[in-house]
């Protein structure tokens, strides 16, 4: 069985250059064909006088996928790109070209992505083109320049449900016709004047506004600077009930996925969860260590990107994800955050750690209690894949090693911290649950995150097709014991209390291609295409690109064209939560936040299902 943490390896490897955001990226591919069903919008996200940070957002507004993208623009003399990330940026004189990386060229209908750069000078981009066409999906008129950027909007008359926005006018050689008002990057209105009142907002909610001018030829210019607005009122009441509702937040998600702590707020998910596992810390030389320091505590956030609406400064002691988590906890005091160490990629260090468990535990507590962020974390989570068994590498620490490590962590952290572990869900006879003393270790841990997903997938390229997260067994299941019910039953039989077991949900699907049979059990020729990795795709994409055609063993499946996918939906999650409550389980957890829709459909299903 291969588990979801495999993505940690692929993601970190794919983002090597992103971890060095100030290194120049170069490269130029052949021109792409014109596309009039996509847009590219620009925002200056930071400005420090003679330098700035810029961001382009490319959105597929059509009905078919885009397989590559190229954004071109002109800077005035004296303004240039000095470094970039998430795109290959080159120049010819004052003309600049940005092309997609190998891993982010495909955009499904309705999907968007961003790339950024640091620049010198004070100019703004002009003459924007996307795949040879206009950046607003409209015409490019020879001899007619697009308009300039309007002034950054100012906000006034803010209420629970509305805000008034005003801005200074843009200029254009042929005249400005109107302005598009963008809220969180999406157009909400087109107006002829230089003010607009946005109504129908949600109380106590953060929004970000920009404005873009449109000339008489319907060409759009660059977007203005952004203004953060928080409506008045609203509450942040903690979730009801005593069930744990935990989600993994991935450290590397702030790069290609462009998923940040603030997304937990804008999606509505923050009010519906109880715990966050921040993943992953590394395990090196038998000790816990921070993995990506830039993402963790160095990355600067602008006001509109941050949870609090306040921009980071260059000299503040803590920035990055850790500071954003601090702000999230201030806004939602009920949320507890655990630092998760290991995962599929970094589990190789646990064997050495188990040889001196006390020293390992001491090192972990030193990371969690670092004075710069000691208030952020409420505990530690260990994701060892797998003790005394094989994952990315094979471990031979012995049956008792996991219990020894768990005991050392509890001794070091004491009763005031949460100490938890993500564990295998292999319920087969003689499988991974039988390889380590999970029953004995349970006394030292607050709960287990039982990874009841990734049972089946295109790592078996020829199939048979099967749901990757079956709740129960079924006739024709490819392997006995590879389902949630059998895993939970086996752990209970080893003495683990039901209340210490959390049911795992994947916010993604696994799929094959070359499949002709709609029902499970069909043959395949390989992995179905995926945005970040073949054979894997987020729920937010699959719900539209390959809608559900059936359900087997409590999990949905879909057959579209020659592709076959299985994934959980709000409906199947509701049934799984009902099962979890009936079993007396402590709650549920999921991998991971960014796979959900922008309005948090799956988190909402977990929350409502456990009430």
For 37-67, what is each residue's pLDDT tens digit? Answer: 788 888 887 777 667 888 999 988 888 888 8
Residue 326: closest CA among 307, 304, 302: 307
Closest CA to 302 of 53, 598, 118, 22: 53
Please identify which residue in the block is written with the tokens 């949320």.
335
Beta bridge mates, 57: 41, 114
Least trusted range by pLDDT, from 16-25, 69-78, 256-265, 480-489: 16-25
User: What's the average model confidence in pLDDT over 575-596?
Assistant: 97
Average pLDDT over residues 97-105: 92
Share of the chain above pLDDT 90, in %: 68
Taking residues 557-562, report their average pLDDT: 97
Q: Report pLDDT for 41.
A: 85
Q: Is 514 helix (H, G, I), strand (E, B) or coil?
A: coil
Catalytic site residue from 53, 72, 251, 385 = 385
Whether 7 has a pLDDT exceeding 80, the answer reads: no
- Residue 236 pLDDT: 47
Q: How many CA atoms lie within 13 A of 134 on its CB side?
A: 19
The predicted structure's pLDDT at residue 142: 65
Cβ neighbours for 276, distance < 8 A, ≥ 6 positions apart: 246, 247, 248, 249, 264, 325, 335, 336, 337, 338
Q: How many CB atoms lie within 10 A of CB 339?
A: 24
Look at 13-22, 286-295, 364-373 and tell me which has the smallest mean pLDDT. Answer: 13-22
CA distances from 2 to 80, 96, 265, 345, 438 (A): 46, 43, 32, 12, 19
Most distant CA atoms of the chain, gap in Å? 77
Within 13 A of 143's CA, how many CA atoms are on the CB side? 0
Predicted TM-score (pTM) of this structure: 0.66
Do 556 and 568 meet the contact criterion of CB atoms below 8 Å apart? yes
Residue 365 and residue 379: Cα distance in Å, rounded?
9
d(CA 114, CA 100): 10
Which pLDDT band, with edges at 50, 70 and 90, does 32 fall under?
very low
Q: Is 385 known to be catalytic?
A: yes
Is 158:182 a contact under the CB 8 Å cutoff?
no
Query: What element of type H or E holds 420?
Result: strand 418-423
Question: What is the set of domains in the chain, with CATH numbers?
Answer: 6-10+246-445+478-506+569-609 (3.20.20.80), 31-140 (2.60.40.290), 145-234 (2.60.40.10)
> Could you read off the pLDDT of 411-427 as tens digits, one per residue?
999 998 999 999 999 99
- Comparing 23-37, 55-69, 149-163, the range with the smallest average pLDDT is 23-37
Residue 430 CA to residue 513 CA, distance in Å, equals 32
Mean pLDDT of the chain: 88
Least confidently predicted of 143-147, 203-207, 236-240, 576-580: 236-240
Per-residue burial over 420-450, b if 16 or more Cβ lie within 10 Å, else e, is bbbbbbbbbeebbbbbbbbbbbbebbbbbbb
40: left (phi over 0), alpha (psi -120 to 50) or beta: beta
Cis? peptide before 248, omega within 30° of 0: no
pLDDT at 49: 67
Beta strands in 192-234 (DSSP E): 195-198, 206-215, 227-230
pLDDT at 96: 93
């Amino acid at each position: 069985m291969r588990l979801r943490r495999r993505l940690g390896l692929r993601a970190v490897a794919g983002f090597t250059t992103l971890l060095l955001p100030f290194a120049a990226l170069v490269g130029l591919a052949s021109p792409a064909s014109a596309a009039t069903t996509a847009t590219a919008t620009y925002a200056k996200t930071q400005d420090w006088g003679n330098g700035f940070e810029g961001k382009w957002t490319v959105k597929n507004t059509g009905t078919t996928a885009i397989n590559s993208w190229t954004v071109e623009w002109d800077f005035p003399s004296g303004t240039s790109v000095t470094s970039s990330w998430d795109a290959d940026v080159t120049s010819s004189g004052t003309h600049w070209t940005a092309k997609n990386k190998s891993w982010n060229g495909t955009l499904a209908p309705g999907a968007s992505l961003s790339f950024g750069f640091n620049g010198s000078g004070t100019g703004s981009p002009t003459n924007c083109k996307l795949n040879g066409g206009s950046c607003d999906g409209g015409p490019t008129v020879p001899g007619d320049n697009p308009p300039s950027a309007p002034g950054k909007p100012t906000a006034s008359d803010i209420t629970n449900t509305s805000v008034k926005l005003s801005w200074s006018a843009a200029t254009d050689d042929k005249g400005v016709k109107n302005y598009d008002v963008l809220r969180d990057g999406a157009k909400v209105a087109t107006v002829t004047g230089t003010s607009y009142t946005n109504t129908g907002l949600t109380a106590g909610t953060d929004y970000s506004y920009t404005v873009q001018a449109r000339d008489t030829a319907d060409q759009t210019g660059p977007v203005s600077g952004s203004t953060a607005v928080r409506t008045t009122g609203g509450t942040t009441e903690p979730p009801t009930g005593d069930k744990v509702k935990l989600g993994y937040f991935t450290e590397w998600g702030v790069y290609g996925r462009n998923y940040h702590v603030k997304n937990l707020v804008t999606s509505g998910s923050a009010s519906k969860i109880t715990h966050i596992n921040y993943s992953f810390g590394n395990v090196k030389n038998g000790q816990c260590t921070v993995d990506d320091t830039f993402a963790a505590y160095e990355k600067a956030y602008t006001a509109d990107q941050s949870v609090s609406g306040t921009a980071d400064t260059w000299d503040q002691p803590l920035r990055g994800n850790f500071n954003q988590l601090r702000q999230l906890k201030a806004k939602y005091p009920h949320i507890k955050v655990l630092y998760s160490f290991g995962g599929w990629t970094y589990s190789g260090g646990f064997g050495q750690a188990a040889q001196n468990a006390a020293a390992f535990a001491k090192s972990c507590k030193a990371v969690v209690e670092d004075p710069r962020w000691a208030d952020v974390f409420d505990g530690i989570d260990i994701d060892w894949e797998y003790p005394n068994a094989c994952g990315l590498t094979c471990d031979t620490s012995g049956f008792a090693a996991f219990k020894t490590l768990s005991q050392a962590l509890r001794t070091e952290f004491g009763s005031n911290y949460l100490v938890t572990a993500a564990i295998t869900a292999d319920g087969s006879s003689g499988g991974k649950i039988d390889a380590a003393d999970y029953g004995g270790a349970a006394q030292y841990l607050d709960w287990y995150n039982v990874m009841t997903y990734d049972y089946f997938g295109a790592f078996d390229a020829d199939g048979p097709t099967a749901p990757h997260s079956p709740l129960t067994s079924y006739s024709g299941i490819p392997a006995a014991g590879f389902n949630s019910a059998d895993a939970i039953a086996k752990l209970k039989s080893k003495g683990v209390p039901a209340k210490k077991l959390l049911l795992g949900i994947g916010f993604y699907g696994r799929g094959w291609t070359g499949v002709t049979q709609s029902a499970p059990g069909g043959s395949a020729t390989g992995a179905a295409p995926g945005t970040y990795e073949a054979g894997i795709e987020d729920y937010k994409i699959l719900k539209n690109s390959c809608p559900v055609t059936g359900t087997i063993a409590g999990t949905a499946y879909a057959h579209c064209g020659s592709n076959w996918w299985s994934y959980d939906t709000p409906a199947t999650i509701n049934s799984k939560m009902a099962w979890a409550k009936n079993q007396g389980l402590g709650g549920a957890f999921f991998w991971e936040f960014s796979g959900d829709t922008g309005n948090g459909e799956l988190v909402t299903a977990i929350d409502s299902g456990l009430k």
